[in-house]
Chain A
Amino acid sequence: ETGVTQTPRHLVMGMTNKKSLKCEQHLGHNAMYWYKQSAKKPLELMFVYNFKEQTENNSVPSRFSPECPNSSHLFLHLHTLQPEDSALYLCASSQDTDRGFEAFFGQGTRLTVV
């Protein structure tokens, strides 16, 4: 049990499909994050939620739509993606966004857009 669980682990979708990634944390944290990890690039922060409120959208295209219904769950809704969106999508949580609290990560969803 990692504390942060992501489903599915792998996802293959066509460019016209709609799918959702799910993240759940059992750590009692208040902040949740979506990161994109592409080969040979630094992890890119996509979205930040703190106490269920979105506090940062890092210029992410609208084909990615986050949802945070409560502090324990975070979704990333996907629609009309492009092949360059293929990557590992990591969810993380932390106690808060302040004061250097460490982030705990899930195992990621490997997304392939065909």
Chain B
Amino acid sequence: AQTVTQSQPEMSVQEAETVTLSCTYDTSESDYYLFWYKQPPSRQMILVIRQEAYKQQNATENRFSVNFQKAAKSFSLKISDSQLGDAAMYFCAYRRNYGGSQGNLIFGKGTKLSVKP
């Protein structure tokens, strides 16, 4: 069974600085997707960034980028120029690319990010 592990329950970063959140996963599949979701106090989960496993290039969305190491099954999120609005729970998630109806998201336990002014 696939699993997703986030080893950092909490992280803190100074405003305008850079922070990296860690995520590792376990799967025997070769074709899958990885996601980072953000859950602010409003509780709504918002997609931050997505990575397709068959793409070697790391995904980037403005201040958010990932370091995808397929062999190591590692998928870390880097937030540059941190802003107060980045404070939230961040969840790493995995979804296999399957021809049937089993492409369900599997989440890690989350990392709570605090941003200090």
Contact: B50 with A43, CB < 8 Å?
A: no
| Alpha-carbon separation in the docked complex, A10 to B103 (Å) | 30
Residue of B nearest to A45 (CB): B104
Residue of A nearest to B6 (CB): A42
Judge if A21 is at the interface, Cβ distance under 8 Å: no
Judge if A98 is at the interface, Cβ distance under 8 Å: yes
Contact of A107 among B4, B43, B97, B101 (CB under 8 A): B43
Judge if B62 is at the interface, Cβ distance under 8 Å: no
A residues contacting the other copy or chain, number (CB 8 A): 27
Band of interface residues on B: 20 to 34
Contact: B97 with A105, CB < 8 Å?
A: no
Interface stretch among B67-75, B80-88, B105-113? B105-113
Contact: B103 with A42, CB < 8 Å?
A: no
Contact: B45 with A105, CB < 8 Å?
A: yes
Contact: B101 with A43, CB < 8 Å?
A: no
Judge if B30 is at the interface, Cβ distance under 8 Å: no
| Alpha-carbon separation in the docked complex, A99 to B91 (Å) | 20
| Alpha-carbon separation in the docked complex, A104 to B105 (Å) | 12
Per-position 1/0 for B17-54, Cβ under 8 A of A: 00000000000000011010100001111110010100
Contact: B35 with A102, CB < 8 Å?
A: yes
Q: What residues of chain B lie closer than 8 Å to A110, measured between beta carbons?
A: 43
Q: What residues of chain B lie closer than 8 Å to A50, measured between beta carbons?
A: 101
Per-position 1/0 for A1-39, Cβ under 8 A of B: 010000000000000000000000000000001000000
Q: A42-B109, A48-B104 are in contact. Are A108 and B43 (CB under 8 A)?
A: yes
